[in-house]
Amino acid sequence: MKRTMLFALACAIGLAQAQAADTAAGKSLYASNCAQCHGPTAKGMASFPALAGKDADYLQSRLETYRAGEKVGANSSLMIPNARNLSDDDIANLSAFLSNNAQ
C-alpha cells in the first residue's frame, strides 16, 4: 500500500515537470517586455516580426540564438538586448504562450 502511494506520488511529480511551460507567466512577460515592439497580440508591426502561432521549437531556438548575442536578420541588434536576460524557463513560457496564438 505504501509503495503504491509512493509510486502515485512519483508519477504526479513527473507529470508536473513534463508540463513545465507556464503560458500565463509567458503572457505577462510578453505584455511587459515584448508587446511594445511585436504588438499587443504578437501579430507584428512594421519591421517587428509576427510571433503568434509560430512553432514553439522555432521560437525557442530563435530566442536562444538572440540570447547568445548572435545575429539572425538585419534588425537583430534591436532584439538581442531583449533576449539577454531571459532564463530557460522564460523562453519556454514565452514560446508556449506565443505558439498558442498569444490570445
Contact residues for ligand HEC (CB under 6 A)?
A: 33-34, 36-38, 47-49, 51, 59, 62-63, 72-76, 78-79, 82, 94
Exposed, middle or buried by CB within 10 Å (0-12, 13-18, 19+), for 6? exposed
Residue with smaller CB distance to ligand HEC, 9 or 61: 61
Nearest to 58 by CA among 72, 74, 76, 78: 72
Residue placing its CB nearer to ligand HEC in the complex, 27 or 38: 38
Nearest distance in Å: CB 26, ligand HEC: 8
- Residue linked to cell 502515485: 8
